[in-house]
Amino acid sequence: MSQDKPVRQAKGTVFVRPEVCKGCAYCIEFCPTECLGFSEEFNAKGYHYPVLKHPEECTGCGLCGLYCPDFAIFGIRLKDIPQAASEPPVPPKAG
Amino acid sequence: MSTDTLDTLGPEGLPHMDNPSLPYLRGERIPHIWCPGCGIGTTVNCFTRALGEAVSDLDKVAIVSGIGCTGRVAGYMNLDSFHTTHGRAIPFAAGLKLARPEMKVVVYSGDGDLFAIGGNHFVHAARRNMDLMVVCVNNFTYGMTGGQLAPTTPEGASQTTMPFGNFEKPMSLPFLADAAGASFVARWTVFHVRQLTRTLREALGKQGFRFIEILAPCPTLFLRRNRLGDGVDMVRVYKERSKIRDGADTKDVDLGMDGDIIVGKFVDRERPTWLQSMNAHYQQVFGERYRPWGGVREQD
């Protein structure tokens, strides 16, 4: 039992504006829990934008939103989202 | 671009939320012109967070920029903003501050604008301790005009006007600001976003000449020409090479192509600002006849 990987529960999530992303990968590189990855899809300018690859790992620290040079992503703790604190999030479609 | 295409993609079942930086930006001008991997956007992001924490009334803040990539910041911020002639951001800002002393005036510009063409203005504003906050985004090159040699380019770096490597000694910006008499001097890189936000917030609440240097990668010109990879590679290098030393002697904070990058808050001292000195001096000279200038006009 003790060797089982503990089941993590998402404490936060991210919101992305795909059309302003330029694919610089700052958020993906410096995410402390490495829960972000590039999307399979392109946006209109031809860049891959970030998506939550491991939503259960996200702690909502907001560091991705602080690094983003294009104001395209921000992270937030679930308990800080109005009227949705108790609902489990559904991850965005990963392309 | 219509606003429909700028919709936020969030998890299903959660209410729509807007980016917390957007209230401080002119949303219709985003996406901005800065290249993918450029660090200027990250500094603006930290600045908007600092504004949100330190300032309650945005009408009391003005931002002044010169020319260049970083000079475009004034056009993207949803504040009273002023895009001035090349190198003259500090004189314009000083005039604005003296006419309206109740405002907080921030000068946000690049290293070429503030230290090459406007170097003289910087030195004298620091000497007088003008009540300005000067944020310099240092990307070691002239980004907008095509990668010419800047006064901050490290020794050995290749530039379009120095194709066989730079042999000139670069200017150490914190040392210059300290020697000229600035009351607050700090340096961070684009990697240190939390520390940078805290320092910007602290500087917004202070008085006197405050200088903050932010090292940012220029992927299109400086990094590509010197084969240093992409913007994110350079930020990873900042992470490895930077050493946080608050209160370090500014003589020891030179930058090179390799070696440590000393970051932190170097100088924090109390000095009377130019306006305080002027009022105190003339009150001493003229006594009761002198009415100190506080910026409140009688007809208002």
Rounded CA gap, B138 and B65, in Å?
A: 14
Q: How far apart are CA B46 and CA B164, in angstroms?
A: 36
Q: CA dist B149 to A65, B4, B111, B124, B168, Å? A: 33, 42, 11, 24, 10
B11/A91 touch (CB, cutoff 8 Å), yes or no: yes
**ipTM of model:** 0.86
A20, A29, A90: residue with CB nearest B31: A20
Could you give the CA distance from residue B29 to residue A1 in angstroms, rounded to a whole number? 55
Q: Does the pLDDT of residue A3 top 70, yes or no?
A: no
Whether residue A20 and residue B30 make contact (CB cut-off 8 A), yes or no, is yes
Phi, psi of B98 (to 5 degrees): -75, -30
Pairing of strands A12-16, A73-77: antiparallel
Dihedral sign of CA atoms B75, B24, B221, A47 in order: negative
Strands B261-268 and B242-244: parallel
Give the pLDDT confidence of A29-86 residue by residue, as tens digits: 999 999 999 999 999 999 999 999 999 999 999 999 999 999 999 999 998 888 654 5
Looking at per-residue confidence, does A3 or B293 come out higher? B293
What is the DSSP pairing of strand A50-52 with strand A73-77?
Answer: unpaired
**What is the end-to-end Cα distance of chain B in Å, rounded?**
41
CA nearest neighbour of A58 among A83, A82, A81, A40: A81
The residue of chain B with its CA nearest to that of A13 is B11
Confidence of residue A95 (pLDDT cuts 50, 70, 90): very low
Tell whether the model's pLDDT for residue A88 goes beyond 80: no
Tokens of B131: 């009540």
Min Cα–Cα distance to chain A from B178, Å: 29
Q: Per residue in B141-196, pLDDT tens? A: 999 999 999 999 999 999 999 999 999 999 999 999 999 999 999 999 999 999 99
Residue type, A84: A
In 3D space, the residue among B140, B92, B98 whose CA is nearest the CA of residue B118 turns out to be B92
Please give the full DSSP string across B231-251, using - where no structure is assigned. HHHHHHHHHHHEEE-TT--GG
Bridge-partner residues for B264, per DSSP? B187
Q: Where are the beta strands (DSSP E) in B101-150?
A: 104-110, 133-138
Residue ranges per structural domain of chain A: 16-80
pLDDT beneath 70, residues of chain B: 1-7, 295-300
Which residues in chain B have Cβ-Cβ distances shorter than 8 Å to A19?
A: 1, 5-7, 31
Size of interface A-B (CB pairs under 8 A): 120
Residue in chain B lying closest to A49 (CA): B9
Angle between helices B193-204 and B40-54 (to 10 degrees): 50
- Provide the pairing of β-strand A36-38 with A50-52: antiparallel
Angle, CA B226 vertex, CA B225 and CA B228 arms, to 5°: 115
B197 to chain A: which residues are within 8 Å by CB?
A: 66
Dig out the tokens for B109 from the structure. 């510009």
What CATH topology corresponds to A16-80?
Alpha-Beta Plaits (3.30.70)
Query: CB-CB: which of B11, B30, B191 is closest to A89?
Result: B11
Which uninterrupted H or E stretch holds B2?
none
The whole-angstrom separation of Cα B141 and Cα B139 is 6
Spatial separation of the C-alpha atoms in residues B252 and A45, rounded to whole Å? 44
Q: Report which DSSP code applies to B235.
A: H
Secondary structure class of B265 (helix, strand, coil): strand
CATH number, domain B39-289, options 3.40.50.970, 1.10.3720.10, 1.10.10.10, 3.10.105.10 = 3.40.50.970
Whole-number pLDDT of residue B16: 78
pLDDT at B42: 95
* Tens of pLDDT, residues B19-49: 889 999 998 888 999 999 999 999 999 999 9
Nearest chain A residue (CA) to B35? A22
Give the pLDDT score at B17: 82
Dig out the tokens for B221 from the structure. 């010109």
Q: Does A46 touch chain B (CB under 8 A)?
A: no
Q: Which of A26, A70, A84 sits opposite B31 (nearest CB)?
A: A70
Task: Note the pLDDT of residue B6.
Answer: 57
Is A53 at the interface with chain B, CB within 8 A?
no
